[in-house]
Structure formats: C-alpha cells, structure tokens
Structure 1
Amino acid sequence: MTATGRRRSSLLYAGLALLVTASTTGCSRLVDAQARFFAASHYNRAVEAYIQHRHAAAQRELRKSLRFDPSHPEANLLLAQLYLRDEKYAEASECLRRARKHVAEDSPDVLFTLADLYDRAGKYAEAEATYRKAYRGNPTNPVAQNNLGYFLANRDRKLDEALELIRSAVKSRPHDGSFVDSLGWVQYRRGSLDEASKLLSRAKELDPDTAEIHYHLGIVYRDLNRADDARTEFLHAFDRDPDFQLARDELRKLGEDPRNPHGKRNETTTEPR
C-alpha cells in the first residue's frame, strides 16, 4: 500500500502559474507551458479516478498526461503503480525509469514504487532493503512506517517490529483505512484473530471500496470458522476487483464459481407460439 494515490497534486496550480508567466516571455514558452498545464490537468483527473478505485480511467488519464509531458514524475510514478497492480512489470519499470530522471534517488515515492516492484518480482531482500531506506530517510513519516510494517507482516517475519511500525502510522492517521487494515493484518499474522477481526471491520468501515480489505477480513473469518461471513467478504473483494486472484481462489475453496460468484443463472424465456 503506497501513498501515491492518496496525495493530491499541486501541479495543476503550478501549470496555471507557468501559463501566466509564459504569456509574457514568448510563444515557444507558451506552448511548453500549455503542454504542462494539460499534463497537470490530466494527472489531477487521474488522481481523482485512482482515489475512487476507477483504475482503468486513471490509467487513461495518466497516459494522456504523459503525452503532453513525458517527464511528469508523479504521473510516471502513479502509472507505474497501476502497471504493477496489473502485473505489467516491464511497463512499470519503464515508468519508474523515466520518473527517476527527474526526482531525487531517495524520494520516498520512488523508493516505495521500486520496493513494490522488487516485492512483486519476488526479490524480497531488495524490497525490504528499499523499504528500510525509505523509512530511514523519513522515520516519522506514517506512510514509510506503514509500508515497511505491512511488507514485514505480509512476509510473516519480524512481526513485533511490524506491529510497532504500523501502530505508529495508525496513531498519526487513525482514520486511514489502509493503515488500519495493515494493523489488522499484522494482528492476524500474530495469531490475534479476534483483535484482527475488530480492526479489519473498522478498516472496512473507513474504506469500503478496497478489495484487499475485504479479502483480509474474509481470511480472518475463514480462520474463525465463520464460513458464511468469509464468503460474503470474498464476494465483496471480487465485486470490487474481479481480477483479484487470491479472492477468486478462496471463493473456489468455498464452492463458489468465480465466473458466476453470486449464483446468478442465465434464464431463458420461451415465447408462446
């Protein structure tokens, strides 16, 4: 879970300032400023779509943004995150390469995205080292705390450290559903199922549209032998992200057909002759 999609961009206002300045300094600068303005406008639309979990729309807006300004670092980073989500690792790497040309190597967003790329590629040692680098550079940053803690919890290692990190993040941002989800997940990994259930239910209230939160809660219900509740949460996860393979797998284990998860039947009607 990264911060990229939760940060509003100020680039739209920067684009307006560039446009005003350029109008007094020549046509070529005006064209450049207009391109940056439109790039920023599409980027801001992409951020709104991302926050609303409309990932396909976000990708379209980001590609439009990059047509106007291929060097736009935040657009490249957010598009890299979306490509990672879709397991398009080559495309994600290219976006990250472009972004790194224009931002500092120790930029938190660059490090978060690079760590995520390592993680998804199965390079866990490199991923942990990169998350730790981001945390060392920003030890009071709740996103850095959450990302490192969640990575450790997901790998089922150093759970005491993970718990401490995520608790600090939640203390800073108690109404962030993704952080509360991380706290619930590390409690699950520690075997505290009842506490995990409470926290993940709270995370679902805070962020009801994130598939991963429903999936995590479903896993906890499964291990609490609450099969019907688990099925409901896996269905919610599937509804929000039909490509969520882990949710599909759990539905199959419960006897659900992921292609027809709600048991809908295609009924045909016979017209009277």
Structure 2
Amino acid sequence: RLVAGVRSLKQKQYGAAQQNINQSVRGPITDLVATLLSGWASYGAGNTQTAISAIDKLAGPEWYPIFKDLHSGMILELANKQKEAGVRFERAYKLDDSALRVSDAYARWLSRNKDAAAATAIYQGFDKKLARHPLVVEGIRETKAGKKLPPLVENPQQGAAEALYGIGASLTRRGGEDLALVYLQLALYLNPNHSLALLSLADLYESVKKPQMAIKVYERVPSNSPLKRNAQIQLATYLDAVDRTDEGIKILNAVVADDPKDVEAIMALGNIQRARKKFADCGETYGKGIEAPTGADKQNWVLYYFRGICFERSKQWAKAETDLKKALEMQPEQPHVLNYLGYSWIDQGVNLDEAMKMIRRAVDQRPDDGYIVDSLGWAYYRIADYENAVKHLERAIDLKPEDPTINDHLGDAYWRVGRTLEAKFQWAHARDLKPEAEELPKIETKLRDGLPEDTSNAAAAEKKKEDGRGG
C-alpha cells in the first residue's frame, strides 16, 4: 500500500496516493510516515489546511514533533504562508538545533523572509557542532554573499522524498536497516538526485557488507552536488575494497588535483597506497597532506605517523624516525606511535631502555591490542628475557591468532626456552598464514634447521649499547 501510494504521488494522482497511504501498515514509525506523505498528497491536491491539520493531530513518541514541525513548515512555505512557516521552522529548530535538515530549512527561510545575517548565524551555529559539512559550508558562503536561498523542497514529490529520507536515515542509525532500505529507495524514486539519501543508502549497503551496491549508489550522486566530493572519496575506498584499486586511486588523484589542500582526500589516497604496499607513493602522498595549511595541526599527527610507516617500509629509516618522533611530539602518549617507534628501535637493537618503556606505556593503554602486546613480547626477546617473551607473545597470539609475524615471534621464543616442538608448530603456522615475501625463506630455514646458538639478538644488542650507539 505504501509503495502503491508513493507511485501515485509520483504520478500526481493525489487522491489515489492518499487512499493507499492511509491503508498502509500501522505502527509508531509507519504512522508518522503515512501522515507526512498523506499531508504532502493533500497539499498536492490543493488542500493545504487539510494537510496541516492531519499532521498536527498526530500524537505519538517524543521524536514526532520535530518531523511534524519541519514538514508543516515546508508545506506552509510552498503554500506561501511564510509567517506561519517561520513559526514552525523556529519551533523545530528549538527542539533540535543540531538537525541538519531543520537548520538548513530554517536558514533558507530566514534568507528570504528576514535577512542574510540571520540565515548565516544558523549555519554557523551548526558548523560549531559539526564542522565543515559541505551543505553548511555552501550555505554560509551563499548567505554571506547576500543570496536568498530557495526552499529545501519545491513540490509535493520532493517533500514526500524528504520525509522518507529523514525517517530512513534515522532508522539506519538505530539498527532498522530493512525498513530504512525501503524508505531510502522510495525517497530516491520520488527525488532521484537527493544527495543525502544517496549517501545514506550507500552507507547502509556498506554496513550490511554490500560494497558493490554501495559503489553503484555513490556513482549516482550528481556532479553539481556539494556532496559529490564526499561521495568520490567513499567511492574510491569501496572500489579498493573490491580490488578495483587503480580506479579508486585515479578518482582520488582527481579530487586532490582539484583541491591540493583537501587533507581528507589525501589521507584516503595515502591509506589505499599504504595498504597496497605502495610505500614510495604513500610517503609522497602523506607529504602533500603535511604541506597543506592544516597539516601541522595537532590532530594531523596521523599524517606524520603514516608517512613514518611508509618511510620505514621503504627502507628510509632516518626519515621514518624523524616523522615518528614528530607524531609523538604532537600526540605525546599516542599508543600506536609509541609502539611503532619502540618496536623499530628494539628490532634494530638500539635505544633499548627507552623503547621498552615506550612499549610498556602503549600496552598500559591498549592491553587488548595483539600487535602492541606482541611488541612487548618481542622487546623481552631482544634483551634475552625469554620467559617474559613467551608469556607476552602467548597473550598476543590469543588476541591475534592469525597474524604470521606474531606466530613467528612466538616460535622463536619457544625455541629459546627449549620448547622446540611447539616452536616448529608456530613457525609452520606462520608460514601458512602468508607472511611477507622476504620473511618466508627465513621461516622455512628455521623450520629446517631451528635457531642456531650463535645468533643471540641480545648479544648483538648489548654490543651496540657498549659501542655507545644504543640507549
């Protein structure tokens, strides 16, 4: 009945639309949807007062009023009852000034019925709660230029689409994926270019692990939408997820070329390159983010951290160490940075005391992170405290059983404490878990020959300390 009603609404058959919608399934959510859609059908048939009265009469949960006031305001606005529309928008705004569509609708009304400064103030108030939303950024720019903005919706079809989108998006956040999928699809049937509905639908497909469907939806976002850039960044991420990485990288390169200061796009591009082991490329990409005006902001410590990883993996340790130290300076107790720098020092047999302290601080903050616990176990191994190495590496395996490096480390520790059978089992497991190409021959050698007595890492580490090169 609801779908049949929406189809009639699309075809401007408002009487049939109301009949079907009013006979649709009842319940707290469906009652609200049916009432709002029926209201838009009434307005389409020329009965504005009937529409408003029906919406006003609806009683229900505490989240009803904001939808009722927003849609009454939009209907009154299109019926040219501007003063009454303003009362409704203001009421909805006072109920929740962090609701994007309420803020947008109210600001647009103010730009035409009061002044641009009042409209700008609404957008700026929203921007303080959620910075740099593309629709709000555009609203601030246009109202500051003195533009009178058009209403949020222009006809009954767009109004009904807005109702279906608003409730569908709310359901997505509350775990009602099945119903949300229906409402968002119906919203897009009524208004195919509704960018927010497209993004919500794509996000919903992603949450139910349907990246191919998400890709198709992101591709539909109109090129003139302020949300197109966001859609392109997400689209590239999902293309990478389905092994269409080159297409994703091409899209992100275009976004970055369009705005070389777009740190979010730069980060997305670098992350794909890093995950795909393009370490020379990702070091260069993160560098662009660091050079952007906001690159030095403290929250962008992650750019230095990721570039440090890319430098380390491409055998440029001096540059990597500088970046990791810089990330730690910007975010002093960040556990991942403490772990990466500490682990790297331990692995090289340098700065052992400081590295051990850093890794312990990381473990204190993230006791259930298998990689960080592995670092602590490996640190004990490197200083020849094999009993403690075994203890922490066994805990790391419990947390991350399928990681080849951790299995390899535990094999080494078992061998050193004389548990040679278990050592070979761990090494065999590490071999089968697809380790890095350069590690595979080392693991196979250990499976064949074990660990020779004269390769004590601890002795090498102590030698470096005595030479004055260590911590």
Q: What does 1:1-273 correspond to in 2, within 5 Å?
A: 18=134, 28-30=223-225, 33-40=227-234, 42-43=236-237, 45=238, 58=241, 60=243, 63-70=246-253, 71=256, 72-84=265-277, 88-100=278-290, 102=292, 104-105=295-296, 107-255=300-448
Q: For structure 2, which runs of at least 5 residues remain unmatched after alignment?
A: 1-129, 139-150, 154-192, 194-221, 257-264, 450-471
One-letter code of the match for 1:122?
K
For normalisation by structure 1, the TM-score amounts to 0.69
For normalisation by structure 2, the TM-score amounts to 0.42
- Cα distance between partner residues in 2 of 1:252 and 1:91: 33
8 Å CA contact retained: 2:280, 2:311: no
Per-residue displacement from partner, 1:50-104 (whole Å, max 9, x unpaired)? Answer: xxxxxxx6483655444443331232221232244xxx44333443345445561
Higher deviation after alignment, 61-70 or 114-123 = 61-70
1:20 positional shift: 9.8
- Cα distance between partner residues in 2 of 1:58 and 1:217: 31
- Cα distance between partner residues in 1 of 2:404 and 2:274: 16
Q: For structure 1, which runs of at least 5 residues remain unmatched after alignment?
A: 1-13, 47-56, 257-273
1:41 positional shift: 5.0
8 Å CA contact retained: 2:279, 2:311: no
- Cα distance between partner residues in 2 of 1:78 and 1:231: 35
- Cα distance between partner residues in 1 of 2:326 and 2:283: 19
- Cα distance between partner residues in 2 of 1:77 and 1:148: 20
Higher deviation after alignment, 138-147 or 221-230 = 221-230
With CA pairs under 8 Å and 6+ residues apart, which has the higher RCO, 1 or 2?
1
- Cα distance between partner residues in 1 of 2:291 and 2:243: 23
- Cα distance between partner residues in 2 of 1:154 and 1:165: 14
Per-residue displacement from partner, 1:143-202 (whole Å, max 9, x unpaired)? Answer: 222122112111111111111111111111111111101111111111111111110111
One-letter code of the match for 2:434?
D
One-letter code of the match for 1:192?
D
Distance 1:200 1:59, change over 3 A: farther
Aligned length: 226
Distance 1:28 1:75, change over 3 A: closer
8 Å CA contact retained: 1:150, 1:186: yes
8 Å CA contact retained: 1:115, 1:128: yes
- Counting aligned pairs with the same residue, the percent is 27
8 Å CA contact retained: 1:197, 1:217: yes
- Cα distance between partner residues in 2 of 1:205 and 1:58: 27
Higher deviation after alignment, 192-201 or 99-108 = 99-108
SS at structure 2 position matched to 1:154: helix
Per-residue displacement from partner, 1:97-139 (whole Å, max 9, x unpaired)? Answer: 4544556146222212222233234333332222111111111
Per-residue displacement from partner, 1:211-255 (whole Å, max 9, x unpaired)? Answer: 211121122123233332222222222222254422432223422
Distance 1:104 1:227, change over 3 A: same
SS at structure 1 position matched to 2:368: coil
8 Å CA contact retained: 1:193, 1:220: yes
- Cα distance between partner residues in 1 of 2:275 and 2:379: 25
Higher deviation after alignment, 185-194 or 107-116 = 107-116
